[in-house]
A and B are shown apart, each in its own frame.
Chain A
Amino acid sequence: NAGVTQTPKFQVLKTGQSMTLQCAQDMNHEYMSWYRQDPGMGLRLIHYSVGAGITDQGEVPNGYNVSRSTTEDFPLRLLSAAPSQTSVYFCASSLISNQPQHFGDGTRLSIL
């Protein structure tokens, strides 16, 4: 099993550009989440999903969109990139709601 796979691993964008961060898991997990990690801030929840077709906002959702058309995939879209969105983005999944999450290795995003 590959677990949670995030692509790309690194990306540089210009302000105003849009892009999609991909997240896929092959463990048939219902619950998936996106976090961002900034220096000295720990991880903060952006959006999460409790199953295909169901998403909700986390702590810092502004500037990001998500959708969940399949159980396996949970892409994160930056609509118009801003320098404040420079961060490391982590996707995580879990089988049921009270079990620990499995994390991907992250996407390191720089916005100039």
Chain B
Amino acid sequence: SQQGEEDPQALSIQEGENATMNCSYKTSINNLQWYRQNSGRGLVHLILIRSNEREKHSGRLRVTLDTSKKSSSLLITASRAADTASYFCATDRGSGGSNYKLTFGKGTLLTVNP
């Protein structure tokens, strides 16, 4: 079963705008991660947020985590055409961290128009 579900399924914006993607999950987690996938390529890790963290930044990325609502959001600021990709959230369900057996959502396809 899918642990994470991203929303929206697809998002189209103009270069320079901000993009926000949301992820909901069902069971308790140790951490939540966001990955990017360019067309025809493998997944690339973007950011990991642990269950005791509420917000994390990395460059133009901002991730929030609300464990009471079982949800997370990924914000990409000042988007670029190169940000065009699919974005996935992933959660682990093991004790003590088990990022080698992740559960992925279905992804959000982000298109950034020049």
Interface residues, chain A, with chain B CB atoms under 8 Å away: 4, 31-33, 35, 40-45, 48-50, 58-59, 90, 92, 94, 97-106
Query: In the complex the two chains form, is B99's CB within 8 Å of A101's CB?
Result: yes
Residue B102 contacts which of A45, A102, A105, A106 (CB distance < 8 angstroms)?
A: A45
Interface residues, chain B, with chain A CB atoms under 8 Å away: 1-2, 4, 30-31, 33, 35, 40-45, 48, 88, 90, 94, 96-107
* Contacts A31-B100, A43-B104 given; does A100 touch B30 at CB 8 Å: no
A75 to chain B: closest CB distance in Å? 17
Query: In the complex the two chains form, is A103's CB within 8 Å of B106's CB?
Result: no
Q: Is the interface of B mostly helix, strand, loop or mixed?
A: loop
* Contacts A43-B88, A90-B43, A103-B43 given; does A98 touch B102 at CB 8 Å: no
B37 to chain A: closest CB distance in Å? 9
- Which residue of chain B has the shortest Cβ distance to A49 in the bound complex? B100
Residue B31 contacts which of A35, A98, A102 (CB distance < 8 angstroms)?
A: A98
